[in-house]
Structure 1
Amino acid sequence: MDVTYLSDILKKVSDNSMDVDTALESLKHLPYEDIGYANIDQHRNLRTGEAEVIFGQSKTPEQIAGIVTHMMHENARILVTRASEEAYEAVKEVAPEAVYEKLSKIIMVGKIPVPKEEKGTIAVVTAGTSDIPVAEEAALTAEFFGDKVDRVYDVGVAGIHRLFGKIDQIRSADVIIVIAGMEGALASVVGGLVEVPVIAVPTSVGYGASFGGLAALLSMLNSCANGIGVVNIDNGYGAACLANKIMKR
């Protein structure tokens, strides 16, 4: 961190030559914290409204725990995605209050905020039970960001009457995240039935010709229903981030 830069801003605030809002705007450009194997963006919260999230896949448990340790200096709440149980055990050593959601592979440090009733709802909808791990990554991320989440699972087009039985519940949401593997048709169907933004998440669920989610991805990108945005394969976290930004507007 550039201590001289920070001291200069604090001095300007103290002698009233800079107001607090301008100071916060300036602090958004402070540098990262270099801990050798990672450059932690400690000021992302100032720039974007949310702290940096740790992507746990391919990181060692020791690296994840080390990043959490340094992030705790600046952040009351920390989220780790794609984390293993071994990573959780390492994080618990530095943050005993950490919890691990095994299905979604998410580690959370700090309390999930209680959403305000007037804020609205994000519906997380899956085609099948096999899509729930990605759905839970989306749902827990959205809840971690302070959003109210309504889960509607296993309503895929193979038994479309199940969707119609839940359609009023789905329509009551302000943003809808639709998660589907195989041919990914559910996003297009839902998109044609609702008037709110739909975020489609293809999953890698399916037999060989699904090509690890590529078939669902292409189906969603080629949807004839309007108002659908598509994120990457299995990217529940990315869908929740987009939904949260929509909700903030």
Structure 2
Amino acid sequence: MPHAVARLRDERLARSLKPFVARGSRSERCPRCRVAISHCLCRWQPRVPSHCGVCLLMHDIEPLKPSNTGWLIADVVTDTYAFTWQRTGVDLRLLELLADPQWQPFVVFPGEYAAPSRVVERVETAPGKRPLFILLDATWTEARKMFRKSPYLDALPVLSLRPEALSRYRLRRSTRGEHLCTAEVAALCLELASDVQAAQALDAWLDAFTEHYLGAKHHRLADLDNAAHRALAVFAKT
């Protein structure tokens, strides 16, 4: 069964007035991992348990981009939900999720942009509740606008991360090394919630995806014996 981001991608394509043409679209891609068929990495996909949930609030065309890493989160974290951010409204299914009593939602965003009373740096939940990390999946400029213009998130705590390393993401350009990609942010959240195995699997899955994606782009073989693939061998389906 397709995961949440795959379903959102199908919904977005269904309402498109013209085809979305991604860079490198002349190469046939695997529909499951989105990498060129020659570099498919589906057999390395990890399968791990997780007690956390992730809610991806995605800017309009993010689900269509083959380089989007929210897709990787949904590959690893079973309880991943994905919604398109709307400038003038909100998906009612998102509001239902935020009100679900099993979850303790956290908006993951730099604390400097929120009122100090909302900011937390630890993942603490009430008994019987599981953490639900709300990630704004967009460019940095878009994400700041989404944070400001989503009043339904205003009452929720803001989890402010303090990453100790610069981003490893190499599929899109950024002028700020401290700006992590969505999958890196999710892995940090999982680690903070003591969901260590899922965090490690997601980190390795991102690294392997990057290796295969760039290998296809530059017409070179992926290194199947690097650290990421060795880590995935512990988690892989096969």
TM-score calculated relative to the size of structure 2: 0.36
More strand by share: 1
TM-score calculated relative to the size of structure 1: 0.35
More helix by share: 1
